[in-house]
Structure 1
Amino acid sequence: MLQLRDLTRRFGDITAVDGVSFDVSDGQLTGFVGGNGAGKTTTMRMVMGVLARDEGTILWNGAPVTVHDQRRFGYMPEERGLYPKQPVLDQLAYLGELHGMTGRDARRSIMEQLERFGLADRAKDRVEKLSLGNQQRVQIIAALIAEPAALILDEPFSGLDPDAVDSMTDILREHTVRGIPVLFSSHQLDLVQRLCDRLTIMARGRVVASGTVSELQAGGPTRYKLTLGGDAGWVRDARHGVHVVDVDGPTALVEIVQEGTEQPLLEEAMARGPVREFARVIPALSEIYREVTA
Structure 2
Amino acid sequence: MASRHAVPLPFPGDRQDLRADCASCFGLCCMTLPFTRSADFAVTKPAGQPCANLRTDFRCGIHERLRGEGYAGCTVFDCFGAGQKVSQVTFGGTDWREAPETASAMAGVFPVVRQLQELLWYITEALGLAPARPVHKELRRARDRVDALTRGSAESIAALDVNAVRGEVNVLLLRAGELARAHVPGRRRNHRGADLVGAKLSGAGLRGASLRGALLVAADLSGADLRDADMIGADLRDADLSGADLTGALFLTQAQLNAARGDAATVLPPSLSRPAHW
Higher strand share: 1
TM-score for both structures, normalised by structure 2: 0.32
- Normalised TM-score (structure 1): 0.31
Structure of greater relative contact order (alpha carbons < 8 Å, 6+ residues apart)? 1
Q: Which has the larger radius of gyration?
A: 1
